[in-house]
A and B are shown apart, each in its own frame.
Chain A
Amino acid sequence: MWQAIQEELRGFGFTVVTVALDRSPEDARPWIEAAKPTHPSLIDTRHLVADLYNMVNVPTIVWIDARGRIVRPNDVAFGTDTFKHITGLEAAKHLGALRAWVRGEAQPLAEARTRALQSLPTETDQRARAEFGLGQWLFERGRAEAAARHFERAGELAPHDFTIRRGTMPMRGIDPMGPTFREMLGAWTKAGNPYYRPLPE
């Protein structure tokens, strides 16, 4: 999904780095092999990046400047319009802003504005991530039933965190595209909660 912009902008001191929040390298492999990326395409079975950046859904993008500083915090963006009919989000708006920043035609957000747009984790979010971490460790050791108890507890603690609630479905024997997911999504949105939370600017 991101290989086209990688190719387009690579001459401008830019790279895409993708991270798959997946159960195993094998779950991510078909996506990576289809994309044929020339950028780093990493696999994060333990959701380390979700913990470090307080990511609660996918896709989540972050802009990082050449000094290693965050200049656009967690936002929702797609590399293509493949899922536009479901998400209502167009790829072009983000890609246009990204191009302008990478080519040096536009300044990124000011630091104060970047901070104001950040979403920081709560103690409960981190407890949920600890439950996820224990569940994931148990799952790696073939303790699927014990793992599921911790994944469910994690989801109760952080109901807004779909890297947990949906992302653990494959480890609980649940189809993450199936009726259980659709039911969860329906209850969530019916209660007035958005599934995707793009930044307001």
Chain B
Amino acid sequence: MAEPGFTLIDDGQAVEVAYGDGVERAGHAQGAGRPVALDLDERAAYLGVPASARAAALASLEAPDFALPGLDGRPHTLSAHRGTKVLLVAYASW
């Protein structure tokens, strides 16, 4: 019987690994100061970005870049607007 798998979601990418390997890597990430959410029943862990890294990026005042889809599904980056002023607005239907 194959060993049950484990999913690590790291930097937004889900990677399939062996169960023991996944649990160990989640532990290492936590030990290295990363925020980790773990669910052994679901055999998955989410490795987040430490506050220190996010805070340093924001304090530099360089607007963090991102790529997100519109309704057409095509990715669009913030940095595509370099050279123009941008009003970034986060909103929601809720």
Give chain B residues whose Cβ lies under 8 Å from the Cβ of A27: 93
Give chain A residues whose Cβ lies under 8 Å from the Cβ of B48: 51, 126-127, 129-130, 133
Give chain B residues whose Cβ lies under 8 Å from the Cβ of A156: none
Whether A16 pairs with B89 at a CB distance below 8 angstroms is yes
Q: Return the contact of B84 from the options A5, A13, A30, A61 (Cβ within 8 A).
A: A13
Interchain Cβ contacts within 8 Å, total number: 223
CB of B1 closer than 8 Å to a CB of A:
no
Beyond A64-B85, A68-B79, A137-B9, 10 extra complex contacts between A and B, CB < 8 Å = A17-B88, A29-B71, A49-B68, A52-B66, A62-B63, A65-B85, A66-B85, A70-B61, A130-B46, A150-B37
Of A85-93, A116-124, A186-194, the one contacting chain B is A116-124
Whether B87 pairs with A63 at a CB distance below 8 angstroms is yes
Give chain A residues whose Cβ lies under 8 Å from the Cβ of B92: 20-22, 28, 58, 163, 167
Which B residues from 78 to 94 make CB contacts under 8 A with A?
Answer: 78-79, 81-94
Q: How far is the CA of A148 from the CA of B60 in the complex (A)?
A: 35
Whether A120 pairs with B37 at a CB distance below 8 angstroms is no
Q: Chain A: how many interface residues by the 8 Å CB criterion? A: 85
Give chain B residues whose Cβ lies under 8 Å from the Cβ of A166: 94
Q: How far is the CB of A200 from chain B (nearest CB, A)?
A: 19
Whether B35 pairs with A129 at a CB distance below 8 angstroms is yes
Q: Return the contact of A126 from the options B49, B59, B66 (Cβ within 8 A).
A: B49
Q: Return the contact of A59 from the options B41, B63, B91 (Cβ within 8 A).
A: B91
> Known: A51-B49, A121-B54, A134-B9. Is A68-B62 also a contact (CB below 8 A)?
yes
